[in-house]
Amino acid sequence: MHLEGFHAVKHALRFAPALVREVAVADPAAALALAADLAPDVGPWLADAVVRPVAHHTGVEAVARRPAPDACVLRARTSPLVVLDAPRSGGNAGAVVRVAAAAGASGVALSGGTLDPWGADVLRGSAGLHYALPVLGGVGPTDVRGPVVVLDAGGEDVPLPAGAVLVVGSERHGLSPAWRDRADAVLSLPMREGVSSLNLATAVAAALYRSSGRPPSSRSSAAPVRPVSSISDIGGSAT
């Protein structure tokens, strides 16, 4: 797989370093400065990178192996598995992988349609977070076990069990009859009158965060955030 840009390479290195074959940088000093600024944990890998021209504007790219498909998540899981029912846009599918990884979902599976779950557009949209959780293709309604909750604007305000399969419909046609028939519950996210639907990645984000509370905080490279102790802290003048 070709990983384009600093963030995609960073995520692959953090979550699956054994799969990363070659890291390349256009300008070693600039790449190390970027790592020092944004992600010091990946600095040592960039220091050892091959130096050659790189098309991405961050001057960083990598080649990585695609992991073997981990189909265990289809049978059992401790956080939701997200299924995309025949998505059309690689960017949307990538955004779903990204938010699923962030929210601590068990995996993402594509069902039907022609999109390759590991296609270049999808990988670009996920910022390399395909390496943080299983991303599968060719999964149908009879392949999954556990409660199936489908997302649809015409449903109800139902809970999302931790081990659920959360199914989201396609951009144009919504949910297919096969997944509707397999559904144990239909979850609807409230919208203001006149709005017909949410973007599918936005719907997945809202559903996952609505039910999960905080995702597992296994690691963080972010600087500590100062707690806000009063409302004046929020609107106060800059110091």
Ligand X SMILES: C[S@@+](CC[C@H](N)C(=O)[O-])C[C@H]1O[C@@H](n2cnc3c(N)ncnc32)[C@H](O)[C@@H]1O
Residue ranges in contact with ligand X by CB under 6 A: 151-153, 168-169, 171-172, 174-175, 188-189, 191, 197-200, 203
Q: With respect to ligand X, which residue has the nearer C-beta, 102 or 153?
A: 153
Q: With respect to ligand X, which residue has the nearer C-beta, 19 or 153?
A: 153
Q: What percent of the chain is helix, strand and coil (3-state, nearest 5)? A: 35, 20, 45
Q: With respect to ligand X, which residue has the nearer C-beta, 42 or 151?
A: 151
Burial of 121 (0-12, 13-18, 19+ CB in 10 A): middle
Cα 204 to chain centroid distance, Å, stands at: 10
Q: What is the enclosing helix (H) or strand (E) of 14?
A: helix 6-15
Q: With respect to ligand X, which residue has the nearer C-beta, 67 or 155?
A: 155
Least gap, CB of 55 to ligand X (angstroms): 32
Q: Which residue is nearest to ligand X (CB)?
A: 169
Q: With respect to ligand X, which residue has the nearer C-beta, 134 or 169?
A: 169
Alpha-carbon torsion angle 26, 30, 32, 35, nearest 10: -100
Least gap, CB of 86 to ligand X (angstroms): 10
d(CA 7, CA 99) in angstroms, rounded, equals 15
Least gap, CB of 153 to ligand X (angstroms): 4
**Beta strand pairing status for 50-51 and 2-4?**
unpaired
Least gap, CB of 204 to ligand X (angstroms): 8
Q: What is the enclosing helix (H) or strand (E) of 185?
A: strand 185-187
Least gap, CB of 165 to ligand X (angstroms): 13
Q: With respect to ligand X, which residue has the nearer C-beta, 12 or 201?
A: 201
d(CA 51, CA 24) in angstroms, rounded, equals 6
Least gap, CB of 96 to ligand X (angstroms): 10
